[in-house]
Amino acid sequence: MSSIKVDSITDAAGTGAPAFPNGLTGDGSALTGIASVGVGQTWQEMLPSRTGNNTAYQNTTGKPICVYIEDNVNTTFSVSTDNTTWLAWPIVNSFQPLSVVIPDNNYYRVSAAGAPLKWLELR
């Protein structure tokens, strides 16, 4: 088995201090600044506060979230980076659960005859 000693890595200037993005330390002990889905997040039932009437919601959590929708009627789930241009996934006349990762500051919405059967968010 082989290994690499992290303190042997130098930055481009040759100062001997490894340069890592987002405040990471060279030994990996402080994984700060990483916006990963699931880290420090829990599944939350959002149906009481969400509707299927094409209302746009924005992810302002500072990290990606996962949205899970279940429905059994004609439903469309859409995402947007700017709340103007939308990419849509139709769910047509059958039970089809859908799970989508929404990056920070992106928008999402559901268009349906009524509220979806289930709406969960990992946030």
* CA dist., res. 59 & res. 92, Å (int): 26
Whole-number Cα distances in Å, 116 to 3, 15, 39, 97, 101: 50, 56, 27, 10, 18
- Check residue 15 and give its pLDDT: 60
- CA-wise closest residue to 102 among 86, 119, 79, 85: 79
Q: Report pTM.
A: 0.70
* CA dist., res. 104 & res. 123, Å (int): 11
Which CATH number is associated with domain 43-122?
2.60.120
* CA dist., res. 25 & res. 8, Å (int): 14
Hey, where are the domains in the chain? 1-34, 43-122
- Check residue 3 and give its pLDDT: 45
- Check residue 37 and give its pLDDT: 82
- Check residue 63 and give its pLDDT: 93
User: Which are the contacts of 85, defined by CB distance < 8 A and separation ≥ 6?
Assistant: none
Per-residue pLDDT of the chain (123 residues; tens, 9 = 90+): 444 444 444 555 556 555 555 555 555 445 556 668 888 899 999 988 888 889 999 999 999 999 999 887 788 999 999 999 999 988 776 677 889 999 999 999 999 877 788 899 999
